Structure formats: structure tokens, C-alpha cells
Chains A and B, each alone.
Chain A
Amino acid sequence: MINVKNLQKNFGGVEVLKGITTEIDKGDVICVIGPSGSGKSTFLRCLNMLERPSGGQIIFEGDDLTDKKIDLDLHRQKMGMVFQQFNLFPHMTVMKNLTVAPMMLKKVPEDKAKAKALELLGKVGLADRADAYPNQLSGGQKQRVAIVRALCMEPDVMLFDEPTSALDPEMVGEVLDVMKKLAADGMTMVVVTHEMGFAREVSNRILFLDDGVILEEGTPEEIFGHPKNERLKSFLAKVL
């Protein structure tokens, strides 16, 4: 589904990504782990071109997103993203947050968009908060709404950028539960996370990034059970 070929990214001369090559298949749940500053978030943000790569290619469903002539907006409709800071639209109700993009971009009629939003809100246990404003929600509720907002566009893949890092500890579980359900439903997911338990339990493949390169990748069993790379071993020793 997504082919990443020799992906590079510089920020003002600093090499953050030094050539990453990997493949994300339909139905994959991939967790990206690694120390802070390793380039995890930059890698994820390059996948939907929120960061423009300095080199390499992102092939999404056959189209090269780094091609200047491509209609990025159209492709982004198929790539949902969830941010660490939620980034809900504070001036809109929850319902409006969920329906604005489908109605504007996919011309979904209002009643259908609302029905879909309510259905998904129900699945994350927030059907009664449709008329609330984001500031009236807890962090965990905000992030669940943010996940639903991305899902309302019916994406082919969901990108999660440290979705639980800004949450109070007691709210991490409710968000991870939603993500687990999503994975169980067969959604293709790429998750940058520090939640090793989630990575081990839910993902089918883990990428360990350090210093802008993939140092090791494999199944949770391989990564957590038999880490080969020394850096990965010391990283796991610190976080587990």
C-alpha cells in the first residue's frame, strides 16, 4: 500500500532521516519505536507529505507522492492522521469537526455525514458528546474524537503520531482500546508510539528507528524477544 524508498529529510542542513526504505501492506499494523529525536515523527509526517521529503520516494497506492504534479489533497483523503496534540477544530462542535471534511471534500450529504459520524462516535463511546465543543472534553475524549474525525473520511490507512503522549495516564487506556478495535477491524495503521505494551500486543511489525535509519525491524516477537541490535537492546532495557 505504501512503499517508502530511500526516504531522506533535512531540516536546515541537519539530516533527520538518512534513507529509510520499507513497505506497508494492506492490513499491516506497524509500530514505529525509538528514542526521541530518532526521526519517528518526521518519518510518519513524510508519509502523508506534511513534511516534504528532501529525497527518496513515497509510493502510495501506486502513485508517487513526491511527484510535484500529483494531487496531494486527493491522496491525503485516503490517509487519516491522528496528532499528539489532537488538533481538533476548537470553534466547531464535535459533530461539525467530524462532518466538515466529508461534506466539503467528498460531497457527502449532511444527513449521511451526520449518521456516519454518530455511528462512529457510538463505537468510541461518545455518542452523547456530539454537540459539545472540544474544550468541554477530556484529553482522552478529544483524542477519540480526533480518531473518529479521521475515520469519517473512510481512509485506507491511519497514521498515528504519538497519540497517547499528551494524555494523562488514566486516559491512555481508552484511546489504546479504540486503536486496538480499529486494528482488529483490519485497518492499516502506522503508529509512532512509546506504548511498548500496545506495540507488542497489537502490531504485526515493528520498526526501530534511531538516528534517522531503521536499525531493526521485525515482528513483536523478534523485536522484544530476540533483539539483535545493541542499540535496540539498550533502548528496550530503558523503556521496558
Chain B
Amino acid sequence: MNLSTLFLASGGPFSAWFTKLHETFIVNDRYKLLIEGFRNTILITLGALAIGVVIGTIVAVIKYLAEDAPSLRWAAAICNLYITVIRGVPMVVQLLIFYYIIFSHAKNGIPVAIVAFGVNSGAYMAELIRSGINAVDAGQMEAGRSLGMSRLQTMRVVVLPQAIRYILPAIFNELIALLKETSIAGYVAEVDLTRAGNLIRNNTYDAINTLLLVALIYLLIVILLEQILKHMERRLGKGDKR
């Protein structure tokens, strides 16, 4: 006897709803589609986050260093162009460009989606990280340089660790936006969480339960992320103790 038949046998006002849930998600193992979608959504989000943080950090540091290193001006110009283009084109269009033009021979849409979302996120991360770098007192860079560290060394061990603390909430904001934005991954034939819900809805005509469940799962992930942020802020706040 499985869970749903147990509820069925118990009768009551919820029994009709449980019957419906059973038909929608359990019959034909349709819940497995949701699990696959969930997995892909997480995969794309985390992969894109990693790419975004790396690109964002590199772009931010180049732009910072270029402020008084004329030899880096051209690199900074490329970075600015990148940011402008990424921010100026809708994410769906970027995703389609990656899938149908840049990686038109790709058989699996997931890596394409990871790269597309990562490249997109990198542009926003870059501006975030740059604002964090600028928030760190200029005396920190001077102190590092006066000890004999290079600009890059000081950036890595002195400035960036402090910058990250300033911008951690904003990075999580970006991460949450990224998570939800991946719901368009279905455009490139990938089963993400949203598309999994859509597929089940098309099969069962149960719009209410599929959409609500999908919405609930996104919401739970975001709540989890918020908790992680709180934990990290506490941990990073060590130097603030008085």
C-alpha cells in the first residue's frame, strides 16, 4: 500500500486532491521528470555561477587595474563592450544565439545553457565585484604595495576578500535571479524544472498542481540560499567583532 492509497482510504476533504496528485505526478513515474528538471536547473545555475564569478572577477580586476595602467586600456575597452552587449540583449535571445549559432553542433543543451548563462551572469558580476573593490579603503592597496606586494597580489589577498564581504548579499541576489532566469532553458530543448512542469501539465491537463509544485520548489531553493547567505555573513563577519 503506497502513501496515496493510504490517504484515499482515509477519505475526507483531501482525498480528491490526493487522487489528483497521484494521477498527475505518480502515474507513469512522471515525478521522475521533475527530479531530472530539478537536477538540471541546479546544474545550470551552479555552473553558470562558477563561470560568472570567474569572468566577473577577471573583468572587474582588469577594469580596476586599467585605471592607472595605460597598457591595459584596450583590455578594459573589450570588457566594457562585453558588459554593454550582454546587458543590452535579452537573455532568451542570448541563449538562442549560443544554441543555434555559436554551438550549433552541440548535441546536449545543458553545457550550452551553462556557458550562456555564465557569460551573461559574468557581466553583472563584473559590475558588482568592481563596486566591491571600490568600497575597500584605498589605504589597503597602499599597505599591500608598501610591503612589496604587486597590485595583483594585493588584490588577491587583501582587497578582494574584503570586497566580497561587502557584496555578498548582492551576489546572492544575482544568484537568485540567475536561478529563476534558468527557467527559460527549455527554449534550447532542455528539461529544466519549469519545462518538466510544462511537460507534465501537457500530459495531464493539471495546471494548478504542476505550476504550484514547480513554484514551490523554486521558492524552497531561494529560501535555502537565503539561509546560506546568513550563515556566510556570520562567518565572514569575524573581523568585525569588537
Q: Does B162 interact with chain A (Cβ within 8 Å)?
A: yes
Interface string of A126-158 (1 = CB under 8 A from B): 000000011110000000000001100100000
- Counting contact residues on chain A (CB < 8 A from B), the size range is 20 to 34
Q: Does B145 interact with chain A (Cβ within 8 Å)?
A: yes
Interface stretch of the complex, out of A54-62, A81-89, A212-220:
A81-89
Q: Does A48 interact with chain B (Cβ within 8 Å)?
A: yes
- By a CB distance below 8 angstroms, the chain A residues around B107 are none
Interface string of A78-108 (1 = CB under 8 A from B): 1111010101111110000000110011000
- By a CB distance below 8 angstroms, the chain A residues around B242 are 135-136
Interface string of B155-187 (1 = CB under 8 A from A): 001100110010000000000000000000000
Shortest C-beta distance, B114 to chain A (Å), equals 31
Query: B147, A77: Cβ atoms under 8 Å?
Result: yes
- By a CB distance below 8 angstroms, the chain A residues around B140 are 87, 89
Who on chain B is nearest to A132 by CB?
B241
Q: Does B234 interact with chain A (Cβ within 8 Å)?
A: no
A85 to B137, alpha carbons, bound, how many Å? Answer: 10
Query: B142, A87: Cβ atoms under 8 Å?
Result: yes
* Main DSSP-derived SS at the B contact region: helix
Q: Interface size on B (CB < 8 Å)?
A: 24
Who on chain A is nearest to B143 by CB?
A87
Query: A135, B241: Cβ atoms under 8 Å?
Result: yes
* Main DSSP-derived SS at the A contact region: mixed
Who on chain A is nearest to B147 by CB?
A101
Query: B147, A50: Cβ atoms under 8 Å?
Result: no
Shortest C-beta distance, A85 to chain B (Å), equals 5
Q: Does A74 interact with chain B (Cβ within 8 Å)?
A: yes
Q: Does A40 interact with chain B (Cβ within 8 Å)?
A: no
Query: A83, B142: Cβ atoms under 8 Å?
Result: yes
Query: A150, B147: Cβ atoms under 8 Å?
Result: yes
- By a CB distance below 8 angstroms, the chain A residues around B139 are 83, 85, 87
Query: A135, B240: Cβ atoms under 8 Å?
Result: yes
Who on chain B is nearest to A48 by CB?
B146
Query: B165, A91: Cβ atoms under 8 Å?
Result: yes
Query: A91, B161: Cβ atoms under 8 Å?
Result: yes
- By a CB distance below 8 angstroms, the chain B residues around A100 are 157
